[in-house]
Structure 1
Amino acid sequence: MIDQPTLTPRHRQDLRTIAAMIIPASEEYRVPGADDSAIQADMLATLGRDTKLVAAALDHLARLAGAPLAELDAAKRDAVAQEFRKHGGVAAATLVRVVLQCYYRDDRVLGSLGLELRAPFPKGHVLPDGDWSLLDPVKARGGSLRRAP
């Protein structure tokens, strides 16, 4: 059995803080922020293979902040976030992806977007036809990807 890494209490506190910075609550749209307890619980329950990178991103944030993010004033938190965005690399991208994926699968968020509260399959979601000519420049570049054997 593989030992699954977990987030420390400080990691969890910083995750909640940075999640609220990424997606704050909106009274206008009546949706929670990404720091909502149900959304946070979903993040922690589904981290899986992303746990190491998310922990690394949160460690990087802690080094930049020099203190728990929640203890910094808004201006200092924003400065730390800007620096993190510039130099966080793959770990930062993973952290943001985890926050976004968990936020946008919350029923309250989906309802506010006018989406049915159901799995996308097997019925799928119908997308309107778009302007396929937008892909012409990509097609004109030719095959720059290697072909499968």
Structure 2
Amino acid sequence: MSEQLTLTPRQRQDLRTIAGMIIPASDEYRVPGADDGIIQADIIATLGRDTKPVAAALDHLARLAGMPLVDLEPAARDGVARQFRSAGGVAAATLVRVVLQCYYRDDRVLRSLGLELRAPFPKGHVLPDGDWSLLDPVKARAGSLRRTP
């Protein structure tokens, strides 16, 4: 059995629909939704190793919907999305991560956030100092990884 290397046309339609539900366009901030053509092209072009779990997530959505997600009424889509969010597991998390990472690297979105349109390195981005005491419970726990000899 060969591994799926791309999404089917139906999966692409459902991806566009669910992406627009995850991040809708905003006139107030003058940013596109994640269903924008440029962002969708970025998602498809950079799926790589995430293709299989994203396809599984989209197939799960289609099973819940009983038809292509785009063909459902908005209220029915919301119900399917709620079911999907509660039972989608790792595949659903991968789908959401892929949508978010492509959305937040779009130049229009970065401009709206007041960020420079550049790679984060070599200059880096300065983060404000936070409350490092929030990590104390993690530091206090015994290590959960096996130590090497």
| Aligned match of 1:11 | 11
Match of 1:90 in 2: 90
Residue 59 of structure 2 corresponds to which residue in structure 1? Answer: 59
User: Which residue matches 2:134?
Assistant: 134
Deviation of 1:142 (Å): 3.2
- 1:1-149 aligned within 5 A: 5-149=5-149
Gap regions ≥5 residues in structure 2: none
- What amino acid is the match of 1:95? L
Following the alignment from structure 2 to structure 1, what is the Cα–Cα distance between the partners of residues 33 and 134?
A: 34
Indicate the RMSD between aligned Cα atoms, in angstroms.
1.5
CA distance 1:3–1:86, shift in 2 (3 Å): closer
Aligned length in residues: 148
Determine what percentage of the aligned residue pairs are the same residue.
83
Distance in 1 (CA, whole Å) between partners of 2:73 and 2:3 is 37
User: For residues 134 and 101 of structure 1, do their structure 2 counterparts lie closer, same or farther at Cα, with a shift above 3 Å needed?
Assistant: same
| Cα pair 2:4 2:52 within 8 Å, conserved | no
One-letter amino acid matched to 1:20:
G
SS at the partner of 1:127?
coil
Equivalent pair of 1:4/1:48 in contact (CA under 8 Å): no
